[in-house]
Amino acid sequence: MISFEYIADNIDKWLNNTFSPWLALTIEFVIVGVLCIGLFAVLGLVLIMMERKVSAYMQVRLGPNRVGPKGMFQTVADTLKLLVKEGLTPAGSDKFLFNLAPFVVMIAAMLVLAPIAFAKNFQIWDINIGVLYVSAVSSIGVIGILMAGWASNNKYSLLGAMRSGAQIVSYELSAGLSILVVVIFTGDLSISQIIESQQTGWWIFRGHIPMLIAFIIFIIAVTAETNRAPFDLAEAESELTAGFHTEYSGMKFALFFLAEYVNIFIVCAIGATLFLGGWMPLHIGNWEAFNSIMDWIPSSLWFVGKTFFLIFVIMWFRWTFPRLRIDQLLNLEWKYLLPISMFNLLLATLIAIQGWYF
């Protein structure tokens, strides 16, 4: 059966037989890099299209419907437009940091891609501290935003960057605590082990109450961490023009925009991995017949399906809820999410020790 694992293994074997090990490894690096960049490009096109269509349907509109069948090539046209636009650098800006910032944001998003398992045994780097790595590296992205806000030499950008910094630093806490709940149940940090532990059912079903609370808190926290509405104070069109990327144009703006959508994909992939079993098909306990039917669906489809379901949920949030004020945002984190997730952590520890889960 053709699967990603099979293809990757065969390419690896062929390269190692044809070239020397070092050359084979270098070629594999190049292939992985090209695939990552390709994935980013495709994700940018697909997710922006999806966002525009979802928003249109939720607002009883049609959305883009001119370029190509049902407007499917609208984002391609938009990307071409951004590619040929002039990348302006404002005169009063710190030019070095201004031009560096979009790349920092992009590289941070790219690094987080490493430990994500896209299909069964199809993973760039099965690092033994998987989720810790993800939460560590994703915090580099905020530096890019702060850099962009400062280097633009614009008060809107600076305000947007400061809001973004405060928001990401505080919501990282509850995101981390809800990830810890899964780690408590699994007893391991590596992504592949976490997926393996969901062989008999996804954690959101097996871990019942604490897992459900952790899942809800995780979704809220990552929505805030990716600077999306209702937590888009960093951009806040109606107050700050465009926040930290007010001064950016052309391809540099496109990089910020792309990084935002790639970050959504990544956090949703992490959420799907931790709570919904990643590529693991829907298994229910010892129902062998049911499980084997579910195994017929390829693991990559399970992963993509779950991830896009979570992306849809986050888009659903965006087009339903109004934006929070900065004090409401911080109240939500420090007065509600953080205490709840701390108690939830204790509850999860109790349940995990007593073995009161399925």
Partner 1 sequence: MSAYEIIFYLLAAFILGNGILAMTTTKIFRAAIFLLFTLIGVAGLYFWMQIEFVAAVQIIVYVGGIVVLIIFSIFLTQQSGLEMPKATLQRKIFSGIAAICGAGLTGLLISQYGFTNNPDAVLDDSVQNIGTQMLDYEDVGFALPFEVISILLLAAMIGAIVIAMKSKVEES
Partner 2 sequence: MFITQYIKEVFTGVKSLLIGMRRTGYYFTHHKEIITQQYPNEIPVMAERFKGEVIMLHDQNNEHACTGCTACELACPNATIKIVTKFDITPEGKKKKAIDKFVYHLELCTLCNLCIEACPTGAIKMGQNFEHSVFNRAELTKVLNKPGSKVRDDVE
Q: What's the rounded Cα separation, in Å, for the pair 229 and 251?
A: 23
195 contacts 277 by C-beta, under 8 angstroms: yes
Q: Nearest-CA neighbor of 259 among 80, 43, 32?
A: 43
Q: What's the rounded Cα separation, in Å, for the pair 304 and 273?
A: 11
The residues pairing with 122 across neighbouring beta strands, listed in sequence order, are 119
Q: CB of residue 87 vs partner 2: minimum separation in angstroms?
A: 31
Q: Which residues contact 89 (CB under 8 A, 6 or more apart)?
A: 95, 98, 99
Ranges within 46-65 binding partner 2 (CB under 8 A)? 54, 57-62
Q: Please identify, among the stretches 83-91, 127-135, 229-237, 251-259, the one whose residues bind partner 1 according to the rule CB under 8 A.
A: 127-135
94 contacts 358 by C-beta, under 8 angstroms: no
Q: CB of residue 204 vs partner 2: minimum separation in angstroms?
A: 17
Binder of partner 1 out of 98, 118, 122, 133 (CB under 8 A) = 133
Binder of partner 1 out of 50, 140, 251, 330 (CB under 8 A) = 140
Q: CB of residue 228 vs partner 2: minimum separation in angstroms?
A: 15
Size of the site for partner 2 (CB under 8 A): 14
> CB-wise, 288 or 327, nearer to partner 2?
327
Residue 32 is a binding residue for partner 1 (CB under 8 A): no
User: Token pair for residue 356?
Assistant: 């009161």
Ranges within 66-95 binding partner 1 (CB under 8 A)? 94
Distances (CA, A) of 257 to 134, 217, 312: 21, 25, 18
Residue 62 binding: pick among partner 1, partner 2, none (C-beta 5-8 Å cut-off by kind): partner 2
Place of tokens 């966002």: 51
The angle, 0 to 180 degrees and rounded to 10, between the axes of the packed helices 21-58 and 4-18 is 150
Q: CB of residue 215 vs partner 1: minimum separation in angstroms?
A: 23
Residue 61 binding: pick among partner 1, partner 2, none (C-beta 5-8 Å cut-off by kind): partner 2
User: Token pair for residue 151?
Assistant: 């280097």
218 contacts 180 by C-beta, under 8 angstroms: no
Place of tokens 């919501």: 171
Residue 333 exposed, middle or buried by CB count within 10 Å (0-12, 13-18, 19+):
buried
Residue 309 binding: pick among partner 1, partner 2, none (C-beta 5-8 Å cut-off by kind): none
Residue 343 is a binding residue for partner 2 (CB under 8 A): no
Binder of partner 1 out of 132, 251, 304, 347 (CB under 8 A) = 132
Phi-psi region of 19 (alpha: psi -120 to 50; beta: other; left: phi over 0): beta
Ranges within 292-321 binding partner 2 (CB under 8 A)? 316-317, 319-321
Residue 147 binding: pick among partner 2, partner 1, none (C-beta 5-8 Å cut-off by kind): partner 1
Residue 169 is a binding residue for partner 1 (CB under 8 A): yes
Residue 97 is a binding residue for partner 1 (CB under 8 A): yes
Q: What's the rounded Cα separation, in Å, for the pair 188 and 190?
A: 6
Size of the site for partner 1 (CB under 8 A): 29
Q: What's the rounded Cα separation, in Å, for the pair 311 and 317?
A: 10
Q: CB of residue 150 vs partner 1: minimum separation in angstroms?
A: 5
Q: CB of residue 62 vs partner 2: minimum separation in angstroms?
A: 6
- Residues engaged in binding partner 2 (CB under 8 A): 54, 57-62, 316-317, 319-321, 336, 340
- Residues engaged in binding partner 1 (CB under 8 A): 22, 94, 96-97, 127-129, 132-133, 135-137, 139-140, 142-143, 146-147, 150-151, 153, 158, 161-162, 165, 169, 172, 187, 189
